[in-house]
Amino acid sequence: MPINKDKLEARKQVSENRPKFVRPESWRYKRIKPNWRKPKGIDNHQRKQKSRGRPGLVKVGYGTPSIAKGLHPSGYTDNLVYNISDLEKLDPKQDGVRFGHSVGTKKRNDLMKVVLEKKFKVFNARVSQNAS
């Protein structure tokens, strides 16, 4: 059972009612991919919201609820960790751990020992079992 279940539920509720934002005219031309780009033309119908049937524009009001910001889908907060002193500030009951990109294998193994000892949730462990 995930922690912060009510916050995750609120985020899911909002995302179900959020429209699928697609790039203007992407449905018309195969060469235009559907990933969102803001329409900037002076006569653009979607930007002006002129005609019905055009998808909506991305606006602040469609965002995730502030209580659910920064939560991993598991319900834990997502925290970047580079060394052992970063772990001391976190609470294993509500904070999850993601190792920084620049953390090497040696330090990663040292961090894993502390993480397993304190029972943190790790999102990107990438530690080999025989490297102890």
**pLDDT tens per residue across span 65-111:** 999 998 999 999 999 999 999 999 999 999 999 999 999 989 999 99
Greater model confidence, 131 or 123 = 123
pLDDT the model gives residue 1: 58
The model's pTM is 0.71
Tally Cβ neighbours within 10 Å of residue 121: 19
Report the SS3 class of residue 86. Answer: helix
DSSP class of 45? H
* 3-state class (DSSP) for residue 79: strand
Beta pairing class for 95-99 and 77-81: parallel
Query: Rounded to whole angstroms, how far apart are CA atoms 59 and 36?
Result: 12
pLDDT tens digit sequence for 1-60: 578 899 999 999 999 999 889 998 999 999 999 999 999 999 988 889 887 888 888 999
Over the stretch 48-58, which tens digit does the pLDDT of each residue have? Answer: 988 788 888 89
Q: Please name the amino acid found at residue 38.
A: K
- Calpha distance 97→106 (Å, rounded): 17
